Amino acid sequence: MVLKHVNSSTNPFWCVAAEGRWSVLGMVISAAAVAELATRPGGGFPIAPVTREFIRATAAQQVAIGMGFGSLVHLIHTFATDGGTIISWTWTGFPVTGPTHPAACLVIAVACAACVAPAWWPIGVIGAVVLYRYPDWIGFVGGLALVWYLVAALPGYLRAVSLCPGAIGWGLLLYCVLGVVSVVTTAYAFVPFGNLVRERTDLVLGFSMAWVVAGNLAAGMVRMPQGLLERSNRRIRRVKMWTGVTAVLLGLAAFATSYSELSTEAPKPYAETGRVFSGGIWTGQSETHDGAHQGYGGGRGRAARVGSDLTRVIAEELGYYVDLGPGPNKHTWGAALLSKYPIVNSTHHLLPSPHGELAPAIHATLDVYGERIDVFVSHNGQEEDALDRELQTTEIARLLRATEEVPTVFLGYLVTHPGDQRPWPYQILMEDGRMNDIEMGLWRVAFARVNEGDISDTELQVGKFVLPQPGATAVYESNEEMYWHVGEDDIPKVWRMPAMFRDEGVRLGVGLQDQEDRSSVWGTTGGAEGQTQLDLLDVRVANALRQVL
């Protein structure tokens, strides 16, 4: 966890080779460890024969220990592999009333301290309930208690499974099952019988915790051989001492990393004049790697793709305000908003989805050049179900219409063709939501779309907008006027779309390894030719973005 925290929320030993991480070093260390074990001399310190029988685990205890071990590994994978997971579970938006990214160091410090602490199961159970039920700081404290218990219980489980043949195998099988089921709570529409656990993250969490506690109690009933040699006792005491020292050092390293990377300056837009800003949406569905472009998709805070709090990395390195959107405890894959402008207020929504996956949305109000601008982020796109499409878009239109006097940008994706009639989403959004395509009350001066295939949720879409002059409104005389084109020489340079979007575009990642400032592929309006810079960035899945840096 600490290594990932100090390495941009990625595992330095398990990464894309072209990213220049520590893959080779990791393989060398692994090979050296295997060689040391294979050549370790035996028989140098014979152990005295054990004369006292130890209590063997019964069949029921072995089942409890095995199932508990698998559940424990699943929960550790979910909550204790990245410090930002607990934060995403408790995030509620702006104004901020709970923990933010620097609080990840507290999660790491608690996990380190738990390595030498007793495992009290009531603390873990209470922590799991509080984390699931309560937002902000109360839920975060519950998450800390849960992480404490999970890490503290691991040594006892390792001791117990060593005495139970087959327990590890059955436990890891359950771990795989729980990993799938935790995904099905959200992706139930694509799995047979998925509705059995639809939106029941609480059921998966409760089932796992019940087995962890049962296995923990069963492990306490298994007694190891007594009367260890003094040499063994001394060795155990040394291991405990150095484990404690290491835990303290790792915790301090986490604190130092979190606060050393905090920016002392507020994020600044790339174009600070001209009343122009840009916004874009980049959605991610699956992991790809073809040598030129790396995309990474998944759900932040879920066991399937957990362990990458990359919104923190983007915010720290590139200077963005971040809204994490609805968390995994809302049974959704989530959405995130990154903004160069202050986020004055934001609310989270779960769009109606009677048949398919819950569609999360963020409705945020930004301070752009001293004026109020609304940004609406949504992750829907139900291609399989017409009713879901219609209901989700109808709710989006209702929310947009409620603030139609405020200039608005829509950063979402809909499964529809331009001009489609009801019940397809296009007409609903345009008429009921009072939208001019993707904006309302703004002049759109540029638009680009980079298509990665025939699936709409793997695209990059970017628009540039100009705020009307004070006292004026942006009103088109006709639909045709929205699509008028002028030559680039007739507009300010800051209004132009970067050259990389022309014709078939440029695949992100090509040639980026040779750039000194790799972060320049992000950003916003007014950028140099060949770069794309964004003031507003919707990330359907937060960890889709870092891979192109």
Least-confidence region, from 45-49, 290-294, 434-438: 290-294
pTM of the model: 0.80
Residue that is written with structure tokens 């709710």 in the block: 395
Query: What confidence category does residue 164 fall into, taking pLDDT thresholds of 50, 70 and 90?
Result: confident
Are 56 and 277 contacting, i.e. CB atoms less than 8 angstroms apart?
no
| pLDDT of 513 above 70 | no
Closest CA relative to residue 267, chosen from 309, 318, 314: 318
pLDDT at residue number 506: 62
- Residues 64-98 have pLDDT tens digits of 999 999 999 999 999 988 888 899 899 999 999 99
At residue 26, φ and ψ (nearest 5 deg) are -60, -40
Are 327 and 321 contacting, i.e. CB atoms less than 8 angstroms apart?
no
Closest CA relative to residue 77, chosen from 186, 150, 171: 150
pLDDT at residue number 264: 75
- Long-range CB contacts for residues 203-209, cutoff 8 Å, separation at least 24: 204/178, 205/75, 205/128, 205/132, 206/128, 207/71, 207/178, 208/71, 208/72, 208/74, 208/75, 208/178, 209/71, 209/75, 209/124, 209/125, 209/128
pLDDT at residue number 287: 31
Q: How far apart are CA 72 and CA 424, in angstroms?
A: 45
Here the tokens at position 44 are 């140098």
Residue 100's identity, in one-letter code, is T
Are 418 and 429 contacting, i.e. CB atoms less than 8 angstroms apart?
no
Alpha carbons within 13 angstroms on the beta-carbon side of residue 134 total 17
Higher pLDDT, 498 or 426: 426
DSSP assignment string, 266-320: ----S--STTEEEEEEE---S-EE-SS-EE----TTSTTT-S--HHHHHHHHHT-
What letters, b where the CB count within 10 A reaches 16 and e where it falls short, cover 335-346?
bbbbbbbebeeb
Instruction: Tell the CATH topology of 277-548.
Output: Deoxyribonuclease I; Chain A (3.60.10)
Please list the residues that pair with 412 across neighbouring strands.
378
| pLDDT of 411 above 80 | yes
User: For a pLDDT cut of 70, what percent of the chain falls above it?
Assistant: 77
Residues of the chain with CATH 3.60.10: 277-548
Judge if the upstream peptide bond of residue 342 is cis by omega within 30 degrees of 0: no
Query: What confidence category does residue 42 fall into, taking pLDDT thresholds of 50, 70 and 90?
Result: low
The mean pLDDT of the chain is: 77
End-to-end CA distance of the chain: 22
| pLDDT of 546 above 80 | no
- Residues 488-510 have pLDDT tens digits of 778 888 888 777 777 666 655 43
Could you say which DSSP state residue 336 is in? E
Containing 466, the helix (H) or strand (E) segment is strand 460-466
